[in-house]
Amino acid sequence: MTTLTFSSAVLLLSASGIASTLNSVAGGGSFFSFPALIFAGLPPLKANATNNTVTWIGYAVSIYAYRSDLSIPFRQLLVLALISLVGGVMGAILLLRTPQSVFAKLLPYLLLVATILFTLQSFNFLVI
């Protein structure tokens, strides 16, 4: 079990504030919160699970807050939600079966791919 020091608490509080602000405006808050959890001493798999558990609440609130701004038909939204749900469940199962050491080795590459996809998204390269 990881002991939470004062400096780790300050780091996590600061990172969560930055992450929440970024997620509410443009997304990408996990680029701050996830590394902060690792620097605070959590193993990568636990940091990933903790980060995803906390951020989904913010995503749910954002979906509700911006629901009137959706410009896609409800049926298409349901299809995309179903695809996301299936992908999320498959990813969770894969993570549960991945050894900690393998995930730690893959982590830099996963973050690189996530960063590239996040950046390309702002240039509208990934349009459905």
Please check whether residue 33 is in contact with residue 19, taking contact to mean a CB–CB distance below 8 angstroms. yes
For residue 128, pLDDT beyond 70 = no
- State the pLDDT at residue 102: 94
Query: How far apart (Å, rounded) are the C-alpha atoms in residues 76 and 95?
Result: 28
- Asked if pLDDT for residue 101 goes beyond 90, the answer is yes
**Mean pLDDT value across residues 60-72:** 80
**Mapping DSSP to helix (H, G, I), strand (E, B) and coil, where does residue 31 land?**
helix
pLDDT score of 98:
92
Reported pTM: 0.74
pLDDT interval class at 73 (50, 70, 90)? confident
Token digits of residue 64: 């509700």
> What was the pLDDT predicted at 126?
54
Band of residue 125 on the pLDDT scale cut at 50, 70, 90: low
**What is the predicted pLDDT for the residue at 60?**
80
For 13-22, the CB contacts below 8 A with 24+ separation are: 16/54, 19/55, 20/58
Selected residue with higher pLDDT from 123 and 52: 52
* pLDDT at residue 54 tops 80: yes
